Structure formats: C-alpha cells, structure tokens
C-alpha cells in the first residue's frame, strides 16, 4: 500500500517559490492500477518522483507498506527502490548496452550473480515479447520495443510497485494500446501495483481501476474511473472526460444532428462500462418494427466494459413504439436521452 500524506513540494526559483505539489494525500491499494491524470505542469511528475524519493518532498509523509520513505538511510532507500520499478516517457535506456544488458543493469546494481542475471533477463525478454532481440542495441529498436525493454528492466528485481511516468506519451496509438495491454497483463499475472501518470484520458480509461485528477499541484477529484467518467464534477475532469467522449462538445453535436434528422426521434445512449458484452442495441431493435440507424458512435473498450456515446435515429414509428425501445435499453443499464 502506498500512502501519501499531505505531500508538499516547493521549488525555490530566483525570486519566487513554486508549489509543484500542494498538500496531496492519496492511498493506493495493493494490486490496483491507479491513474493520476493532469495537464503538463500539474505536478504529477513531481508527485510520482516523490513516491520513490527521486524528489524529496518539502513536507508530508510517503509511507510504502508501512515504511516511512523519507526516514530511510541512503542504503535502505536504495534497497527499497529495488522494490519499486519505474518506466519513463523517453525510456531512458543505456545506448551502450544491448537489450539483455539493459535489463540486467538493475540486477547488477542489486549484486545478483551473473548466471542468475542471465536466467532472469531471459525470462523477462520472453515476458515482454522481445525474443530474438536480446542482442540488439536500443538504437536498433522501435519506440514500442524500447518501452518493452524499459518495462522488463523495471521488473528485473521483482518489484511490488511499478511507477509509469507518461510511459505511452511518446508512442503512436497502436503501440500505446500494446504497451497498455502488456502493463495490464503484468498487473494481473504478477499482482504488481501500478501507478500511472498521464495526460491521456484513454490511457486511464483503458487500464486503470481508480484515478485522481491533478491540477495546480492539488488533487481536484479522486475516485473509480467509472464514477469520474459518469459524474465528473470538477471542470478539469469534465474536460478530460469530454475529450474521450467526443472531439466536439456534446450539445453542439446534438444540435447538428437534430438539424440533419428533423423527422422521427433522436436518441443519445451513454455507455458507462457496467453493461455486459451483449448486443444491447440489436436486442432492442428486435422488439420493435420501425427502422433504427446508428448515426454517430464513439465507443471505447475499457477495463470495465464499453464506454462512450452512441446516437441513434428512430423513424417511421409511433411514439409508443419509441418508448418501448428506450425502456428496453434503460432496463439494461444504458443511459438513454431523447433529444
């Protein structure tokens, strides 16, 4: 368990003091994937570095599994850090070492004998799917492969916690998905607690169970991803959620569609993840006789099922029939609004 208690970090500049982190308290449970989302400059990178004490907080406590991090001696801290892996936006691999040697670096730091290092690095190369590339140098790898090396390296000493600092921000969307799937697999198979720092809502949505939204050094909202997605309260959270929901603001889109389809009825369905994989819309259509067309849809798969919004156009029917259709969906737990 990671406990952050009233963490504050002040940077002194020439004629000013900057509160990069301002009174943050958080508890991250064992085995969960916790997302911390915020725009750049929100203090999230500083906060994650305080967890493994790459940055020392100005005030507050960092307690990991009952050990207060800032009271550890240098030696104790170094051995504690071997229990906390970290991956980075720019991978931070050593160009002078091959894939295998990069993965073995933390084992060398930990004083693991050579034969054991070799065995462990082979396991990790297989785990992250880099078989056959063990003797390549980082300069010969793609971004996604480099991050796989980064992940393998971070896992070398069997950590309990993995910190991800914008780990997918330098990757294209396809590679991002692959890396996120890998992190999820690691979380499920090895039970490692993962803390993810990101500015991408899709990332949080895809893998995280709980999340916190950070702005100006403070946590403005915290909860399950599902809750925050369904009921964003803070302005910043709304902006993040909306970005995934749709590129254009919801009201604007509804107005546009109403003009385009003046007859019949327009329906907005919001999926918030708790639905089953059943073909909900198809089942509802089977109960009615009028035609239904999907005119706009933005559904993303996530850790708890489908998220997003779908717009339906119902026509050539009577109002009673429309109501039957809407109720069928509502009973399945879909939020339906008639526009």
Q: Where do contacts with another protein occur on this chain (CB under 8 A)? A: 52, 54, 74, 77-82, 84-86, 88, 90-97, 105-106, 108-110, 137, 139, 153, 157, 163
Q: Measured from the CB atom, is 26 or 87 closer to another protein?
A: 87
Minimal distance in Å, beta carbon 168 to another protein? 16
Handedness of CA 306, 309, 311, 317 (dihedral sign): positive
Q: Measured from the CB atom, is 55 or 61 closer to another protein?
A: 55
Q: Measured from the CB atom, is 38 or 85 closer to another protein?
A: 85
Q: Measured from the CB atom, is 96 or 247 closer to another protein?
A: 96
Q: For residue 291, what are the β-bridge partners?
A: none
Two structure tokens written together for 148? 């796989």
Q: Measured from the CB atom, is 81 or 206 closer to another protein?
A: 81
Q: What angle do CA 159, 161, 166 make, to 5 degrees?
A: 120
Minimal distance in Å, beta carbon 51 to another protein? 10
The Cα–Cα gap between 1 and 95 comes to 34
Place of tokens 């050539």: 316
Minimal distance in Å, beta carbon 117 to another protein? 13
Two structure tokens written together for 125? 């190369």
Minimal distance in Å, beta carbon 170 to another protein? 12
Annotate 172-235 with DSSP letters as a single string: -HHHHHHHHHHHHHHHHHH--EEEEEES-HHHHHHH-SEEEEEETTEEEEEEEHHHHHHS--SH
Q: Measured from the CB atom, is 97 or 184 closer to another protein?
A: 97
Q: Measured from the CB atom, is 80 or 304 closer to another protein?
A: 80
Minimal distance in Å, beta carbon 48 to another protein? 10
Minimal distance in Å, beta carbon 90 to another protein? 6
Q: Measured from the CB atom, is 86 or 171 closer to another protein?
A: 86
First to last CA, the chain: 46
Instruction: Report CA 108 to chain centroid distance, whole Å.
Output: 31
The Cα–Cα gap between 65 and 63 comes to 6
Cβ atoms of 179 and 147 closer than 8 Å: yes
Which residues are CB-contacts of 243 (< 8 A; sequence separation ≥ 6)?
201
Minimal distance in Å, beta carbon 138 to another protein? 8
In 3D, which of 203, 78, 91, 111 has the Cα closest to residue 154? 91
The Cα–Cα gap between 180 and 242 comes to 21
Minimal distance in Å, beta carbon 193 to another protein? 16
The Cα–Cα gap between 295 and 284 comes to 16
Read off the DSSP letter of residue 95: T
The Cα–Cα gap between 10 and 73 comes to 22
Q: Measured from the CB atom, is 71 or 78 closer to another protein?
A: 78
């Amino acid at each position: 368990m990671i406990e952050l208690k009233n963490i504050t970090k002040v940077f002194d500049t020439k004629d000013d003091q900057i509160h990069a982190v301002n009174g943050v308290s958080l508890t991250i449970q064992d085995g969960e994937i916790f997302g911390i989302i915020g725009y750049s400059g929100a203090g999230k990178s500083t906060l994650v570095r305080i967890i493994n004490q790459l940055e020392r907080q100005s005030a507050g406590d960092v307690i990991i599994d009952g050990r207060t991090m800032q009271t550890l001696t240098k030696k104790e801290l170094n051995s504690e850090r071997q229990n906390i892996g970290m991956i980075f936006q720019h991978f931070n691999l050593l160009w002078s070492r091959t894939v295998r040697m990069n993965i073995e670096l933390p084992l060398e730091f930990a004083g693991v004998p050579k034969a054991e290092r070799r065995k462990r690095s082979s396991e990790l190369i297989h785990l992250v799917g880099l078989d056959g590339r063990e003797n390549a140098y980082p300069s010969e790898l793609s971004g996604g492969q480099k991050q796989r090396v980064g992940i393998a390296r971070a896992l070398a000493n069997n950590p309990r916690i993995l910190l991800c600092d914008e780990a997918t921000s330098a990757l294209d969307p396809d590679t991002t998905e692959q890396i996120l799937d890998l992190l999820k697999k690691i979380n499920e198979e090895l039970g490692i607690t993962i803390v993810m720092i990101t500015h991408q809502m899709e990332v949080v949505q895809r893998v995280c169970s709980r999340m916190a939204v950070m702005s100006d050094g403070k946590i403005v909202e915290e909860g399950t991803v599902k809750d925050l997605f369904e009921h964003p309260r803070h302005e910043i959270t709304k902006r993040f959620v909306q970005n995934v929901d749709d590129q254009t603001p919801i009201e604007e889109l509804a107005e546009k569609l109403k003009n385009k389809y003046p007859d019949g009825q327009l329906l907005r369905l919001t999926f918030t993840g708790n639905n089953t994989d059943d073909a909900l819309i198809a089942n509802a259509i089977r109960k009615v006789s009028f035609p239904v067309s999907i005119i706009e849809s933005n559904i993303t798969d996530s850790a708890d099922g489908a998220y997003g919004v779908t717009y339906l156009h119902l026509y050539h029917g009577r109002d009673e029939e429309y109501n039957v259709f809407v109720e069928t969906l509502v009973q399945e737990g879909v939020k339906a609004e008639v526009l």
